[in-house]
Amino acid sequence: MDKYTQKTKEWLDKRFAEGVKEGAYFAHQPIYGYKRGRTEGRDLIRYLRNLSILTKLSYLKFDSFMDIGGAEGYMPNLVKTAFKVDSYTCDLSFEANLRAKEIFNLDSVSIDISNLPFKDEAFDVVLCSEVLEHVANPVQAISELRRITKKALLITTEAVCYDSLERKLRMMLVDLSEDHCDRNWFIAEDFIFMLGDNIDCESTIYDPGIADKGASLDEVKIILSGYAERGILTRGGVGITVLLSKILKDERLKGTIPNLVDIILNTAANTDYKKNNDSDLHPISARLVELLRCPACQSVVDLDKNTLRCSSCGNEYAVKDNVPIMYTHDKDANFLTKKWNTRFLSEFGHDYKHFLKLKKVFEHTTSKPNFLIRIIVCRALKIEKFICNSINVMCQRSLLASVAYFLRVLKKRTLREIYRVINRVRKPVLSDFKIGDTVEFAKDYQALDNQKVFVRQGTFGKIAAISDDKITIRVEGVECPVDLWANTKRGYKPTLMHIKQVKIS
């Protein structure tokens, strides 16, 4: 375990032990209900994210579920309640795993996500929500998540950017001296490269303004009930949800999908939390022991009282309060390095240069940006946002509206920045596009060949075919022909903008 991960573990153990001795545990998720008990807050945002995850699971048939980085086990408990399946959780923090066992009676394991102690395809569905932005080796972590997944892998993170420039700027602001910082920032192309082209990427929460801090419980019910999936990735959304399905989507029979909103709102723990005695904790299940493997050599482990022993390398792992503690040993560092170098060559040998470039993105050499760099980068992020907004204004609105917009920003922006914006706007031609490219809609678009398809500005789609006068875009699960130019009262406006290659050039 590297120094950063060790430091993060110590911070998490302290965090998930907060309030335990006093009998008022300070929860990470809204385990006590909406705005009840001591929690970190942002309840509606968390409800919306959990609803999005549960909705995706409702289209799958599965028998086992694992939440990697599951904190006190709130989401695994929701899945267990909603779908009646074997549900497990694991976390870097031992205290978090102990809370999951005490509060929700879940089997849990203390792990390092970079070397997971489970056999290949151990779980039908694997979830990793709001974790990857904190880990030291995200590429290695995603590889491990894919390895232990049998049917579907779900990843969510709010640390998402919509182009490489924004990501570079945000990575320059990472301060590794902070506890549990967001040290990694992702773009959609990262997940496409690491997991393959068959993944679905969409915004986790499409309307960030919907999470009103002053909403009452009745208003929350209305918001959740009316919050439908859109299946698109938008610039204005919060976070990204990535779904890798190793099998064809297997929809449940109508009538068997539970009322997810009621389950989310009604599943709550006792606010008067009291630490259970060791004798009250249920023992580690035999099913979980069967799924466990040595995190170093991936060999079978045998349970002997309070110890798990590897049948191959002989490594021993303690079981404390019926929670297996399965971190890798320092003596295995050289072996693990060689193992991962071989594995990376096997998985990414088709484009190893791209892999090395992506791996380098997440390697931090400085622990804290100085004051001058922070000011310059924050300014650059504002300028980039201004440029994107300016392009959208010029593409969507009239000349008069564009002039009015520029007059408003002239007080804070320079003419040189505006000149750069104007020069970025170029009339797109068919030769700019290639099959397989990801494109962004520069305006709202109604597909004439399919009146049911209405695409909002900022939606991303993938090019499926190109003809002499139309481009067929696959968006929202439907292939629809798109005119490159949209006829408006003031002339023709480009429909597609911001060409994005699937692979990083």
The CATH number assigned to the domain holding 472 equals: 2.30.30
Strands 149-157 and 238-245: what pairing? antiparallel
What is the DSSP secondary structure assignment for residue 72, as one 8-state letter? T
- What average pLDDT does range 219-244 have in this prediction? 77
**Residues 175-208 pLDDT 10s:** 787 778 888 889 888 888 898 888 888 888 877 6
Three-state secondary-structure class, residue 188: helix
Interhelix angle 333-348/352-361, rounded to 10 degrees, is 130
| Token pair for 93 | 């923090």
Domain co-membership, 457 together with 416: no
Q: How many CB atoms lie within 10 A of CB 334?
A: 8
Lowest mean pLDDT among 70-74, 327-331, 337-341, 406-410: 406-410
Does 280 reside within a domain? yes
In DSSP terms, which residues pair with 160 in a beta bridge? 186
Looking at residue 61, which CATH number applies to its domain?
3.40.50.150
Three-state secondary-structure class, residue 147: helix
Q: Which helix (H) or strand (E) holds 139?
A: helix 138-147
How far is the C-alpha of 149 from the C-alpha of 117, rounded, in Å? 13
What is the DSSP secondary structure assignment for residue 112, as one 8-state letter? B
Domain co-membership, 476 together with 382: no
**Terminal Cα distance for the chain, rounded:** 33
Does residue 13 have a pLDDT over 80? yes
Strand ranges (E), 130-287: 149-157, 199-205, 238-245
Number of structural domains found in the chain: 3
- What average pLDDT does range 456-462 have in this prediction? 71
pLDDT, position 502: 36
Does 19 reside within a domain? yes
Q: How far is CA 116 from CA 20, 112, 187, 213, in A?
A: 28, 6, 24, 37
How far is the C-alpha of 128 from the C-alpha of 126, rounded, in Å? 7
Does residue 448 have a pLDDT over 80? no
- Select from 331, 330, 328, 306 the least CA-distant residue to 319: 306
Domain co-membership, 280 together with 403: no
Domain co-membership, 61 together with 88: yes
Q: pLDDT-derived band of residue 425, with 50, 70 and 90 as boundaries?
A: very low
pLDDT, position 405: 60
**Residues 90-109 pLDDT 10s:** 999 999 999 999 899 899 99
Tracing tokens 């005119």 back to the chain, one arrives at 483
Sequential DSSP letters for 446-502 = E-TT-TT-EE-TT-EEEEEEE-SSEEEEEETTEEEEEESEEEETTEEEESEEEEE-S
Domain co-membership, 488 together with 382: no
How far is the C-alpha of 160 from the C-alpha of 109, rounded, in Å? 28
How far is the C-alpha of 180 from the C-alpha of 183, rounded, in Å? 8
Domain co-membership, 415 together with 433: no
pLDDT, position 107: 92
Domain co-membership, 54 together with 189: yes
Query: Which percentage of the chain shows pLDDT scores above 70?
Result: 74
Domain co-membership, 386 together with 440: no
Domain co-membership, 276 together with 415: no
Does 201 reside within a domain? yes
pLDDT, position 143: 92
Residues contacting 465, CB < 8 A, separation 6+: 435, 471, 472, 479
- What average pLDDT does range 404-410 have in this prediction? 61
Does 154 reside within a domain? yes
Does residue 415 have a pLDDT over 60? no
How far is the C-alpha of 51 from the C-alpha of 44, rounded, in Å? 10
What is the DSSP secondary structure assignment for residue 340, as one 8-state letter? H
Domain co-membership, 164 together with 260: yes
Q: Are 94 and 141 in contact (CB under 8 A)?
A: no
Of the two residues 471 and 108, the one the predictor is more confident about is 108
Query: Which percentage of the chain shows pLDDT scores above 90?
Result: 22
Could you say which of 331, 359, 394 is where a domain stops? 331
How far is the C-alpha of 241 from the C-alpha of 341, rounded, in Å? 28
Three-class HEC string of 255-270: CCCCCHHHHHHHCCCC
Does 361 reside within a domain? no
Three-state secondary-structure class, residue 16: coil
Per-chain mean pLDDT for the chain? 79
Domain co-membership, 148 together with 221: yes
How far is the C-alpha of 354 from the C-alpha of 337, rounded, in Å? 20
Domain co-membership, 433 together with 445: yes
Does 460 reside within a domain? yes
Does 362 reside within a domain? no
Does 314 reside within a domain? no
Does residue 295 have a pLDDT over 50? yes
Q: Are 13 and 92 in contact (CB under 8 A)?
A: no
Strand ranges (E), 71-198: 86-91, 107-110, 123-129, 149-157
Three-state secondary-structure class, residue 85: coil
**Residues 352-400 pLDDT 10s:** 888 888 888 888 766 677 777 778 877 777 777 766 666 665 665 556 6
pLDDT, position 443: 66
| Token pair for 265 | 């709102």
Strands 478-483 and 485-488: what pairing? unpaired
Considering 120-134, 225-239, 254-268, the range whose residues carry the highest mean pLDDT is 120-134
Rg of the chain on CA atoms, in Å: 24
Sequential DSSP letters for 19-65 = TTTTT---BSS-TTSTT-SSB-S-HHHHHHHHHHHHHHHTTS--SEE
Tracing tokens 């299946």 back to the chain, one arrives at 231
Of the two residues 280 and 193, the one the predictor is more confident about is 193
Q: How far is CA 32 from CA 72, 129, 260, 412, in A?
A: 12, 20, 17, 46
**Residues 150-164 pLDDT 10s:** 999 999 998 888 788
| Token pair for 145 | 């998540």
Q: What range defines the domain where residue 75 resides?
A: 3-285+319-331
- What average pLDDT does range 435-447 have in this prediction? 71
Does residue 290 have a pLDDT over 60? yes
Q: pLDDT-derived band of residue 311, with 50, 70 and 90 as boundaries?
A: confident
